[in-house]
Amino acid sequence: MGAGAGGYVTIQLLTYSNTFASVPYHPNVFKLSRISQLLFAPAETPTRDSHSRPLPAIPGNPGPTPGSPPAGKVALGGLTQAEVKKFNLYAYTDKQLKALTGMGTKADPTIGSEASLAFGGDWAGFAVALGPAGGRFDLVADIELQPRWTDQNQKAVKPFQIIPVVVAFGTDSFANHYLLSLIVAQKTSDLVDTAVTQPYR
């Protein structure tokens, strides 16, 4: 992108070839080979009411305390437990999608350890008290975190941190799950949209 570019842009990495295979003569070593095209297109400025509906007011009650075992679990990648200052999860409770209720979350380092074993790297884990009521559901997350670049002598003018999110309910394990979403933590007060497109099995 050239100097002077303004507004918002959608950047799509379109994959043409994606191969995952073992290295010859080294059966326990693997490599990922990918050929992609990077596409840029002008985008509308994200607004709070540009989606299908406005967000209802966040309830003051974050919900019940999770039991043992919890009804669900959430893990945030690239973060230690101490770097997540607040994490509350809410779900819609009415068919009109105008009311939210707290699902009840609590920091749980054992959940972070499970995600680390499944995916590698640092993960912050949280237990969830309530599970979804239907097959498809919308969740709202209220998060406060301390990005890595706030504690370092950063060189970038606009630093960022990519934070993957995985969620599992019931007896599901992270090892059998998949990436749900991405948080792009940036040094900005502008609104940011992210999306993940992947196979669902």
> Considering the domain boundaries, does residue 199 fall inside one?
no
Q: What is the DSSP letter of 150?
A: G
DSSP three-state, residue 176: helix
pLDDT of residue 49: 60
**Are residue 34 and residue 118 in the same domain, yes or no?**
no
Clarify whether residues 142 and 116 are in a common domain: yes
In a domain, 4, yes or no: yes
Q: Per-residue confidence of the chain (201 residues) as pLDDT tens digits?
A: 444 456 888 888 888 888 888 888 787 888 888 888 888 888 888 776 645 567 788 888 999 999 999 999 999 999 999 999 999 999 887 776 678 899 999 999 999 999 999 999 999 999 999 987 765 578 889 999 998 888 767 778 888 899 999 999 988 999 988 888 999 998 888 888 888 887 776
At residue 4, the pLDDT reads 41
Q: What is the pLDDT of residues 51-97, one digit of tens each?
A: 556 778 888 899 999 999 999 999 999 999 999 999 999 988 777 66
Distance CA 35, CA 15 (A): 6
- Clarify whether residues 89 and 134 are in a common domain: yes
- Measured CA to CA, the distance from residue 119 to residue 114 in angstroms comes to 9
- The answer on 69 and 26 residing in a single domain is no
Q: Are 132 and 140 in contact (CB under 8 A)?
A: no
Residue 26, pLDDT score: 80
- Inside any domain, residue 201: no
Residue 142's domain spans which residues?
48-186
Residue 192, in any domain of the structure: no
How much is the pLDDT for 64?
Answer: 95
Into how many domains does the chain fold?
2
Q: 123 and 60 in one domain?
A: yes
Q: What is the largest CA-CA distance in the chain?
A: 59
Residue 96 lies in a domain: yes
Contacts 24+ apart (CB under 8 A), 109-114: 109/81, 111/73, 111/74, 111/75, 112/75, 112/81, 114/73, 114/75, 114/173, 114/174
Beta strands in 26-169 (DSSP E): 26-43, 72-77, 84-92, 100-102, 105-107, 123-128, 139-145, 160-169
Q: What is the model's pLDDT at position 18?
A: 83
| The predicted structure's pLDDT at residue 87 | 95
Q: Are residues 114 and 24 in the same domain?
A: no
Q: β-strands 181-186, 160-169: how paired?
A: antiparallel
> What's residue 3's pLDDT?
40
Judgement on whether residues 26 and 111 belong to the same structural domain of the protein: no
Q: What is the pTM of this model?
A: 0.82
**Domain identity same for 107 and 23:** no
